[in-house]
Amino acid sequence: MKIVILDGYTLNPGDLSYDELKKFGEVIIYDRTPQDLIVKRIGDAEVVFTNKVPITRETLEACPSLKYIGVFATGYNVIDVIAAKEKGVTVTNIPSYGTGAVAQFTIALLLEVCHHIGAHSDSVKAGGWSSCEDFCYWNYPLIELAGKTMGIIGFGRIGQDVAKLAKAFGMNVCAYGPRYKAESGADVASVSLDELYANSDVIALHCPLTDETKGIINTESISKMKDGVIILNSSRGALIVEKDLREALDSRKVAYAAVDVLSTEPPSSENPLLGAKNCIITPHIAWAPIESRTRLLNIAIENLKLFLAGTPQNVVSK
């Protein structure tokens, strides 16, 4: 069996092993695959793994040997799953591998907003403390979370984990989303979107990107929020109309934003958030601790194993 990995570098820059995958056949690994080489590199392979390299109807038609596509991610919008189903190609994804990692990172973004630990450390190393007349100083307002309200848009597994962590800091938590589960044990109030906007000191986005949620954070929704709100996004960049958020940051309607995702990745140098004040941007790394990447790879291998055994799991091309 011929197995091709189209863009393996982000998942495995060299700290994971493909030995278990190689037991199934010849494995050809590409760190990255440009658009014009997708069909050539798939060739006569029966199995393909991809993270962000798209596989379109045209690609499927040009690669008739293909029987299985494994997505190295939870989201599978890069695959034409309708065409795959028509052609009898099974597509699987990797759900839930990084729930804890993304929840932890969301809180890390919030804590950085509250304390600016990196900036204060840099200031000390630059001589700021040594030359200070007082025993301490701070260059940014410091924020205590206890008693404040976090509103979570999207209350699936990650949203529920974030709620539990926020509660541990003494925050009140409310949530909006069709997957809200009162029995989750998180002691979280289910509210309307307008109620969430009006009452939240911190808003965290944990919903999928759909036609309904695209651009959910925009000038109109921001106008319904508290003055000085903090917005966190470790879900999908296109949930935010970035131009509108930049204007709200400039006006201080939004006090801080901290995002791990942008609408286009890598971003254009023209992205309005890149030059925004009080905006922390990290390069889509919430999912990437070695522990979660190891889980992802192990699940991907198990997905292929079960497909070959005739009992596939995590199938999205139904």
Determine whether 206 is an active site residue. no
Determine whether 236 is an active site residue. yes
Whether 70 and 193 share a structural domain: no
In this structure, is residue 15 part of a structural domain?
Answer: yes
Determine whether 183 is an active site residue. no
Mean pLDDT score of the chain, rounded to an integer?
Answer: 95
Reply yes or no on whether the pLDDT at 181 is more than 90.
no
Q: Residue 177: what pLDDT?
A: 86
In this structure, is residue 317 part of a structural domain?
Answer: no
Q: Which long-range contacts does 17-26 make (Cβ < 8 Å, 24+ apart)?
A: 18/297, 20/298, 20/301, 21/297, 21/300, 21/301, 21/304, 24/304, 24/305, 24/308, 25/1, 26/1, 26/2
Reply yes or no on whether the pLDDT at 180 is more than 90.
no
Domain that holds residue 66: 2-97+290-308
Whether 153 and 105 share a structural domain: yes
Whether 156 and 249 share a structural domain: yes
Check 41, 120, 284, 302 and give the catalytic one: 284
Whether 123 and 255 share a structural domain: yes
pTM above 0.95, yes or no: no
In this structure, is residue 313 part of a structural domain?
Answer: no
In this structure, is residue 66 part of a structural domain?
Answer: yes
In this structure, is residue 316 part of a structural domain?
Answer: no
Mean pLDDT computed over 38-60 = 97
Whether 161 and 17 share a structural domain: no
- The CATH number of whichever domain residue 142 belongs to comes to 3.40.50.720
Q: Residue 244: what pLDDT?
A: 98
Whether 303 and 247 share a structural domain: no
Residue 98 neighbours by CB distance under 10 Å: 24
Q: Residue 179: what pLDDT?
A: 62
Tokens of 71: 């997505």
Please answer whether residues 281 and 274 qualify as being in contact, where contact means their C-beta atoms are separated by less than 8 angstroms.
yes
In this structure, is residue 147 part of a structural domain?
Answer: yes
pLDDT digits (tens, 9 = 90+) for 182-215: 545 568 999 999 999 999 999 999 998 889 999 9
pLDDT digits (tens, 9 = 90+) for 256-275: 999 999 999 999 999 999 99
Whether 184 and 83 share a structural domain: no
Reply yes or no on whether the pLDDT at 299 is more than 80.
yes
Check 58, 212, 220, 265 and give the catalytic one: 265
Q: Say what percent of the chain tops pLDDT 90.
A: 92
pLDDT digits (tens, 9 = 90+) for 33-48: 999 999 999 999 999 9
Mean pLDDT computed over 301-309 = 98
Reply yes or no on whether the pLDDT at 65 is more than 70.
yes
Mean pLDDT computed over 291-315 = 97
The total number of structural domains in the chain stands at 2
Q: Residue 280: what pLDDT?
A: 97
In this structure, is residue 106 part of a structural domain?
Answer: yes
Please answer whether residues 282 and 46 qualify as being in contact, where contact means their C-beta atoms are separated by less than 8 angstroms.
no
Check 46, 116, 206, 236 and give the catalytic one: 236
Query: pLDDT band at 178, cuts 50/70/90?
Result: confident
Q: Output 33 or 77, whichever has higher pLDDT.
A: 33
Reply yes or no on whether the pLDDT at 142 is more than 60.
yes
Whether 86 and 134 share a structural domain: no
Whether 135 and 74 share a structural domain: no
